[in-house]
Chain A
């Protein structure tokens, strides 16, 4: 029997929820569906759905954006990036260029793209130019980037890789503020690639309820129902439930995982607003170093890293929003100085950013 959103809602409402239950999500797509469908207002008050570090563009370190800007502005590079990276602002003096979109408006060669294959096509169209593909993303997106490199790319195409693994950020949140969360809704398309089993540590190590969800209200409410049931059973019985079985298997897409492992090694990485997380990012393996923009432009990267740029803009609460410590409308800038039209922090820019999602759905009261 296929249950629908209203069936799950009914079941959720039948629970007696004695105290606050905070359910973390780590996927911008989940947050968008939750917010746009208005799920929070349909759930009992004690149940909180908390957006966390679910936006790869938001956690992309400022040094990487500065390097991309420098390459496009000063090194004659043709820079390609996923579209939602273009408007992400860095801290810059007023009057200085603050985003790739501004650099593009001033004539820098910057191309938004929707697929790694477009980067390959761009490099073929411009055989005499150095093309750099600035690639931020989680595992779901990194697998296609790895596939692109594994399949072979033109000599003039390099990758400025800013990929991240999602689970280390969840592990950090649970290590440092375990009591803040009672359950996790695990990201559906990350799990499609990496397998539901990647999230077993959540229930096994932290005794936190977990369910993998898809992106529809049905699947998200099934996950909410599942984690509540896990949490409220006596004694609590935590495991990783799969509420997105149409796409997610226990072990995931093994070919994609082999491809990731063949092309990338896993390294310690900086997350904007969060800090360095061990084994949480990707770097190109030596066999692909001819296409590694960080090696080709090592001098520029060193210079930018030494200038030690700031992390989040002053007054901006994006860091706390990414850590699940504040809701977007609890930021003093939300809706005042910071709107999608005049973004201060990255969470107000990306389609995956919690602030942008809340604002776009009409939650304007700060």
Chain B
């Protein structure tokens, strides 16, 4: 249940962000990252609809290469 996946932020409206990963689009809350500067294009780790950590593009990419291998 603690599964969390990297997604890319596409649009931001207040605490709500439209995020994408692998062609799937989801509404994600940025409430737990308030105070952290986040702009469209950034990558976040998402758990149950909430971003819990910002990560670099490179980290997100390598995470996905590995997730593709195990999921």
Contact = CB atoms under 8 A, between A and B. Distances in A.
B66 A216 contact: yes
Interface in A2-54: 2, 27-29, 33, 36-37
Nearest to B59: A246
Nearest to A246: B59
B24 interface: no
Contact of B31 (A2, A82, A147, A188): A147
Interface string A119-156: 00000000000000000111011011001001100000
B31 to A, nearest CB: 4
B27 A256 contact: no
A241 B70 CA distance: 24
Given A246-B55, A259-B32, A352-B1, A141 B69 contact: no
A116 B49 contact: yes
B29 A192 contact: no
A116 B53 contact: no
B1 A151 contact: no
B2 A138 contact: yes
Contacts of A55: 1
Given A150-B31, A151-B15, A255-B35, A137 B1 contact: yes
Contacts of A292: none
Interface SS majority for chain A:
helix
Nearest to B5: A215
A204 to B, nearest CB: 24
Contact of B47 (A36, A144, A246): A144
A218 B29 contact: no
A189 B50 CA distance: 13
A288 to B, nearest CB: 16
A217 B49 CA distance: 25
B27 to A, nearest CB: 7
B1 A192 contact: no
B8 to A, nearest CB: 15
Interface in A97-134: 114-118
A176 to B, nearest CB: 24
A78 to B, nearest CB: 19
Nearest to B33: A255
Interface string B14-57: 01000000000001010111111000000001011110110110
Interface in A52-80: 55-57
A203 interface: no
A84 B1 contact: yes
A137 B34 CA distance: 22
A143 B50 contact: yes
B49 A187 contact: no
Contacts of B27: 117
A207 interface: no
A37 B69 CA distance: 9
A118 B35 CA distance: 24
A268 B37 CA distance: 37
Contacts of A218: 66
Nearest to A27: B2
A218 B59 CA distance: 14
Interface of B: 1-4, 15, 27, 29, 31-36, 45, 47-50, 52-53, 55-56, 59, 62-63, 66-67, 69-70
Listed from nearest, the 7 A-B pairs whose CB atoms lie closest are: A115-B49, A216-B66, A144-B50, A246-B59, A189-B2, A140-B2, A147-B31
Given A140-B2, A216-B63, 20 more contacts: A28-B1, A116-B48, A137-B1, A141-B48, A144-B48, A144-B52, A151-B15, A151-B31, A189-B3, A189-B45, A192-B45, A192-B52, A216-B67, A217-B70, A246-B59, A246-B62, A247-B55, A255-B35, A350-B1, A352-B1
Interface of A: 2, 27-29, 33, 36-37, 55-57, 82, 84, 114-118, 136-138, 140-141, 143-144, 147, 150-151, 187-190, 192-193, 214-218, 246-247, 253, 255-256, 259, 350-352
